[in-house]
Structure 1
Amino acid sequence: MDGLFEMILNFLNNTDRFALILSGSAIAAGLAMGAGIGPGIGQGFAAGKAAEAVGNNPEGGRQATIVMLLGAAVAETSGIFALVIAIIMLFANPLVSREGTAVVLAASAIGAGLAMIAGIGPGIGQGYAAGKGSEAVGKRPKLQSQIIRTMLLGQAVAQTTGIYALIIALILLFVNIFF
C-alpha cells in the first residue's frame, strides 16, 4: 500500500501543475453536471402528473399545464447552478493562476464539482412538488393560484441544499481556504 501511495505521489509531483489542475477541473466539470439528474427526474415526474391531470379533467388541462411549466422551471435551477460551476471550471478557472500545491488546487476543483451533485435532491423534490401541484390543479382548477403559491413556497425551501452546494463550490474555486 505504501508503494502505491509513493507511486501516486511521485506521479503528482512530476506532473505539470497546470495539467494537473486543468485535468482535475475537467473531471469536476463532468461531475458537477451530475446534478442534472435531479431536474431531469423531477421535470419528468411533473410532466407525467400534468398529463395525468389533463387526462382526468380535460377542462383543467390548461391550468395544470401552466402549473407544470412553472414548477419545472423552478426544478431546473439546481441544474443551472451546476452548469455555471462547470463553465467556470472549464473557461475561467481561478485556480489555474493561483499559487499553491497543484494537488490541493486540483482537489479543490474536484471538490467543487462533487459539491454540485447535491443539486440532485432539489431537482427531484421540486419536480415532485410541480407534479403534485399539476395533479391538484387538474382536479380543482379554481384553486390554481393557491396551489401555485403553496407549490412555489415548497420549492423555494427545497432549493436550499442546491444553494448550499453552489456556495461551497464557489468558495472552493474563488476563496480557497487552504491557502
Structure 2
Amino acid sequence: MGGTGNFILDFINWLLTFETKDLILAGSAIGIGAAMIAGIGPGIGQGYAAGKAAEAVGKTPENSRQITFVMLLGAAVAETSGILALVIALILLFSNPLITVTGVGLIISASAIGAGLSMIGGIGPAIGQGYAAGKATEAVGKRPNYQSTIVRTMILGQAVAQTTGIYSLIIAIILMFANPFLT
C-alpha cells in the first residue's frame, strides 16, 4: 500500500463493513460531541461579561443592581448559541431522524457528524455577544442614567451577532431532516 489515498479508501471500506444503523449511531455520537464544543463561546463571552461587571461594581458599588442586571441579561443572550447546540445534540441523542433514513450509511453517518460540527459556528456569536454584554455592563457602571439606551443598543448588537449561530442551526436541521445528499 502506498500513499494517503489507499489509507482513506481502506478506511472507508472498513467503515462500510458495519451495519448501517451502527454507522449512523457512531456518526451521531461524534456529532453530539462536536455540537457541544460550541459551549466554548458562551463560556468565554459570559466570563468576559461577568469580569466587566465585577470591575464596574468595584468602581461604582452604588450601581451594583443596575450593573448586575445588564450583565445577567447580556450573559443570557450570549448563551443562545450553546442552547442551539444543545438542541441539536439532544435531537441526535433522543429523536435522531437519521436512524430511520434509508440510503448509504456512510452519507447518513457523515450527515450526523456534519450536523454536530456545524454547531461549532456558534462559538463566534457567543463570544461577540459576551463582549457586547461586558462593554454594556462597563458603560452602565460609568453612566447608570443611560441604562435603557445602553441595554437597547446591546440587545440590538447581540441580535445581529447571533446570525451566524442561526445559520449553523439551519444547516444542522437541513442535514438531519431534509438532507439533499439522500435521494
| TM-score after normalising by structure 1 | 0.98
Per-residue displacement from partner, 1:72-117 (whole Å, max 9, x unpaired)?
0000000000000000011111011001100000000011111000
Unaligned runs of 5+ in 1: none
The DSSP-based 3-state class of the residue aligned with 1:95 is helix
Alpha carbon RMSD of aligned pairs, Å?
0.8
**1:138 maps to 2:141:** yes
The DSSP-based 3-state class of the residue aligned with 1:96 is helix
- Give the match for residue 61 of structure 1: 64
**Aligned mates of 2:72, 2:6 — CA distance in 1:** 56
Query: Given the alignment, which residue of 1, 8, 16 partners 1:5?
Result: 8
1:171 deviation in Å? 0.3
Unaligned runs of 5+ in 2: none
**Correspondences of 1:2-81 after superposition (within 5 Å):** 2-81=5-84
Q: Is the 8 A contact 1:42 1:124 kept in 2?
A: yes
- Give the match for residue 107 of structure 2: 104
Give the number of aligned pairs: 179
The DSSP-based 3-state class of the residue aligned with 2:97 is coil
Which contiguous aligned blocks of 4+ residues in structure 1 show a shift greater than 4 angstroms?
none
- Give the match for residue 85 of structure 1: 88
- Give the match for residue 157 of structure 2: 154
| TM-score after normalising by structure 2 | 0.96
- Give the match for residue 177 of structure 1: 180
**Aligned mates of 1:38, 1:105 — CA distance in 2:** 28
1:58 deviation in Å? 1.0
Q: Which amino acid aligns with 2:32?
A: A
Query: Given the alignment, which residue of 124, 129, 139 partners 1:126?
Result: 129
1:6 deviation in Å? 3.3
Q: Which amino acid aligns with 1:140?
A: R
Q: Is the 8 A contact 1:46 1:72 kept in 2?
A: yes
1:9 deviation in Å? 2.6
Q: Which amino acid aligns with 2:179?
A: N
Q: Which amino acid aligns with 1:156?
A: A
Identity of aligned residues (%): 67
**Aligned mates of 2:7, 2:73 — CA distance in 1:** 52
**Aligned mates of 1:117, 1:149 — CA distance in 2:** 28
Q: Which amino acid aligns with 2:16?
A: N
